[in-house]
Amino acid sequence: MKEFTVKIKSLTSLWTGDADRKNTTLRETGIIGSLRWWYEALIRGLGGTACDPTDTKCEGKNHCDACELFGCTGWARKFRLEVKKINNETILQLIKLREVEDVEWGLLSKTLKIIASWGAIGGKIAEFKYGLIKIVQNDLERFSLGKAQLKKYLKKQGTSVENPNITRFVFINKDLNYETTKKTKDELHFLKGQLGKAKRYFYKTFNGKPYRFFAYAENDNEYNRMIGFLSKSGVQFVKGKEIIGELK
């Protein structure tokens, strides 16, 4: 098959514009950038390499496991993404440009599921009002993600940075209220952005109510503090490791 469709419904706006344009047309770049960001986090969590395409990126044949599918200078992306909006559904069309391995479709499918169940997509995902989606149809569902298959696939070459890594994420979808969110980001001050560094917590509302929170630590020490704090606060949260743990 040459082409796969993923239909999504956006629960909140998808930011796909840039500074000079209003959010009227859906743009592939915003979606693909965000999709890649989650894909990299997943790849790192699975033990593969993933560079930072905005900074320390790969070039040419010796590239990381994320560039293998998404491309870099001298190595073309294996698929093209077309984004169409029909009524209130957004259609993502993934069109094969070169040979794509089943495991790569499987990884993309997993990435989309993580985004829909736990995360957010598009530009400005750090802002509360953007990026919540629901998957309506996923043609990539048929591609499973097996451990053995994955082990063979990950080459662990190229440039790699350590973060974000899905195994150092926490996700909250239940019992979320404004106080918990505030306490969490006050107590875990490292999640707040600093000069030249983006914040690492993401808070989402839906219909004006707290809906979802996710954050990531950059090292084990931070991660343990995060888990310790959330455990004490009694909030139900899910660890990134548990999400990967679903792999067979």
> Interhelix angle for 102-118 vs 28-45, to 10°?
100
For the chain, how far is it from start to end, CA to CA, in angstroms? 25
In degrees, to the nearest 5, what angle opens at C-alpha 46 toward C-alphas 83 and 191? 75
Which of residues 67, 150, 166, 176 is near Zn ion by CB under 5 A? 67
For Zn ion, the closer CB: 91 or 161: 161
83-102 residues in contact with Zn ion (CB under 5 A) are none
Taking the complex as a whole, the smallest distance from the CB of residue 76 to Zn ion amounts, in Å, to 13
In degrees, to the nearest 5, what angle opens at C-alpha 40 toward C-alphas 242 and 13? 85
- Sequence-ordered alpha helix ranges (H) in the chain: 28-45, 67-70, 102-118, 147-153, 178-187, 220-233, 240-244
Taking the complex as a whole, the smallest distance from the CB of residue 74 to Zn ion amounts, in Å, to 11
**Region binding Zn ion by CB under 5 A among candidate stretches 29-37, 50-58, 95-103, 229-237:** 50-58
**Region binding Zn ion by CB under 5 A among candidate stretches 3-11, 17-25, 36-44, 156-164:** 156-164
Which of residues 58, 94, 120, 215 is near Zn ion by CB under 5 A? 58
Torsion angles phi and psi, residue 22, rounded to 5:
-80, 160
Taking the complex as a whole, the smallest distance from the CB of residue 47 to Zn ion amounts, in Å, to 15
**Contact track, Zn ion, 116-155, x by CB under 5 A:** ----------------------------------------
Which has the closest alpha carbon to 125: 21, 206, 42, 203?
Answer: 203
Which has the closest alpha carbon to 62: 156, 153, 149?
Answer: 156
Q: How far out from the chain centre does Cα 95 lie? A: 20
Q: What secondary structure letter does DSSP report for 227?
A: H
Taking the complex as a whole, the smallest distance from the CB of residue 145 to Zn ion amounts, in Å, to 20
Which of residues 26, 43, 64, 112 is near Zn ion by CB under 5 A? 64
Q: Does residue 43 bind Zn ion (CB under 5 A)?
A: no
Which of residues 32, 51, 94, 215 is near Zn ion by CB under 5 A? 51
Residue 7's SS3 state is: strand
Number of residues that bind Zn ion (CB under 5 A): 6
CA 22 to CA 218: how far, in whole Å? 33
For Zn ion, the closer CB: 31 or 58: 58
**Region binding Zn ion by CB under 5 A among candidate stretches 33-41, 57-65, 168-176, 238-246:** 57-65
- Binding residues for Zn ion (CB under 5 A): 51, 58, 63-64, 67, 158
